Amino acid sequence: MGSSFWSDPALEPKRMFRWIMLMGGVPQWIVKQVSKPSFQIGEAQHQYINHTFKYPGRVTWQDVNVTLVDPVDPDAAKTMVNIVRNAGYSFPSDPNDVTTMSKANAVASLGKVTIQQLGPEAGEIVEQWSLVNAWVKDVNFGDLNYESDELTNIEIVLSYDFARMELPGDDAAIRPANE
């Protein structure tokens, strides 16, 4: 019996801590945690006498959850408020201001969103997800607590139309984050 593939020193599984997220206006070093894109396939059923037959339906991409650390400078809370304001939200201070949010402005205010899973070599991208038409759906500025030494976090939820998965060797070029 041959040696186990786990004993092969060339085997390198993807690791949870090797990644960066790029999104307009948000420094990548404050992104603490992100859920990778996921989707759900709907189902249609057909009943016939005593039987149920199932058919695949529409694909619905699930929201992506992101946790940011909120430093004093750059101020992540201010960045998130500005992203939402640039999407078209304005505080209700002027009764003549009837500005509303639009998808185009919401997508533009966030900019391009990519999640890059990194390999063991410097600058090596082994998997990249690009969120298409991503916009900020939820922002939670976190809690304050006199009994905690923890860092302040901001929880955000991103909605998007679909995600593109790009792998090395695919037609879609993957470029290092610093390009």
pLDDT at 21 over 80: yes
Q: Work out the percent of the chain whose per-residue pLDDT is above 90.
A: 69
pLDDT at 179 over 60: no
Q: Residue 93: its pLDDT value, please?
A: 86
Cβ-based neighbours of 93, under 8 Å, separated by 6 or more = none
pLDDT at 96 over 90: no
- pLDDT confidence bin for 176, thresholds 50/70/90: low
pLDDT at 151 over 90: yes
For domain 11-166, the CATH class is mainly beta
> Cβ of 89: how many Cβ atoms within 10 Å?
16
Q: Residue 94: its pLDDT value, please?
A: 86
CA distance 135 to 113: 9
Residues facing 165 on adjacent strands: 129
Q: What DSSP element (H or E) covers 144?
A: none
Q: Residue 63: its pLDDT value, please?
A: 98
- pLDDT confidence bin for 107, thresholds 50/70/90: very high
Smallest CA-to-CA distance from 151 within 74, 81, 68 is with 68
CA distances, 159 to each of 36, 76, 134, 138, 141 (Å): 12, 19, 6, 9, 18
Q: Residue 59: its pLDDT value, please?
A: 95
Domain ranges, ordered by start, for the chain: 11-166
Smallest CA-to-CA distance from 132 within 163, 171, 102, 93 is with 163
46-68, pLDDT tens digit by residue?
A: 999 999 999 999 999 999 999 99
pLDDT at 177 over 80: no
Q: Which two tokens stand for residue 71?
A: 């430093």
Rounded to an integer, the average pLDDT of 100-118 is: 94
Q: Residue 14: its pLDDT value, please?
A: 86
